[in-house]
Structure 1
Amino acid sequence: MSATHFDPASFFEAFGMRHVDSAGFDAAVVQAPGDDLRCVFLWGQDCYNCNIFKQTALLHRDALLELDLSWFEADVYADEPLGRRFSLHGVPTFVLYRAGKRLGRITGWPGLPQFTAAIRRLREPPPENSAGTS
């Protein structure tokens, strides 16, 4: 079986992914105004597991777009300081932010159902703390 070649520009364009790097990461992702849910796809050139995500993402493009994420991408093989910032041990990794706060990360591609469930959990309002009320 031969490896599928991806044209990064067209793949990233299909999801409206904006490129970020270590120099501009905070301005583009963390400090940018708005309270949209931001997903940073950290990947590496010629990374087998990253290509698995890309194949799956293209097959399920509509389902991923329905999650209404603001997508960003960075090749951490080419930008090692960004990989060190997140203490990456593998890619792909997805780091999620909203309103300047890091909400969590997904390491590896868990599959569409698990990824979708994780994103939906992040969209749920936090449970109200009823302790100490009467």
Structure 2
Amino acid sequence: MSTEQAGAPDPSAAPHLDHRAFDALAMREVDDATIDSAIAAAGDALVCVFFWGVDCFNCEMAKKAMLANPGPLRALELHWLHANVYAHPQLGRRFGLHGIPVFMFFQNGKKLGRATGWHGRGQFAAAVANARLKASGKPLAG
């Protein structure tokens, strides 16, 4: 019986094909044709789009950190989307991405901010809090 038949991960699969972090946070994949409708469909929910790329070391580190302890990230109550900007470079141009990973926040179709790189859950949570403050019209946290 092969490892695939037993339900175990395929050891020959490339690490960038591991989407467990996406699954753990119920991230929906989007591209240039679907991103706007996916953001709009979230309504009043705060949307986080994770822009990443295949074979991006820092993206893999972010995915591993998110997968290691997804509970606190789920508690942020985000509507998660993800996009591979290497497969869809027009998204990188459209959103002015000069490096990845980038986490961009939207609500009701309006861009509220971004977090560039993965600097840990604490800094990510602070970026989410600032996006929520911006959405509410309150001054941003220091």
How high is the TM-score relative to the length of structure 2? 0.80
| Partner Cα distance (1:97, 1:82) in 2 | 15
Distance 1:79 1:51 in 2: 18
Structure 1 segments of 4 or more deviating over 2 A? 4-11, 121-128
CA apart distance, 1:32: 2.2
Gaps (5+ residues) in structure 1?
129-134
Instruction: Show the counterpart of 2:4.
Output: none
The runs of 5 or more residues in structure 2 that have no matched partner are 1-13
- Rounded to whole Å, the distance in 2 between the matches of 1:55 and 1:26 is 27
The amino acid that maps onto 1:14 is A
- Could you tell me whether the CA contact under 8 Å between 2:103 and 2:116 is conserved in 1? yes
CA contact (8 A) 1:94 1:105 kept: yes
Which structure is richer in relative contact order (CA contacts within 8 A, separation 6 or more)?
A: 1
* Paired letter, 2:38: A
Q: CA RMSD in A?
A: 1.8
Number of aligned residue pairs: 124
Identity of aligned residues (%): 45
Query: Is the Cα contact below 8 Å between 1:32 and 1:100 reproduced in 2?
Result: no
**Shift of residue 19, structure 1, vs aligned partner:** 0.6
Please tell me whether residue 126 in structure 1 is matched to residue 137 in structure 2: yes
Q: Normalized against structure 1, the TM-score is what? A: 0.84
1:24 corresponds to 2:34? yes
Cα pair distance change 1:5/1:33, threshold 3 Å: closer
CA drift at 1:7 = 4.4
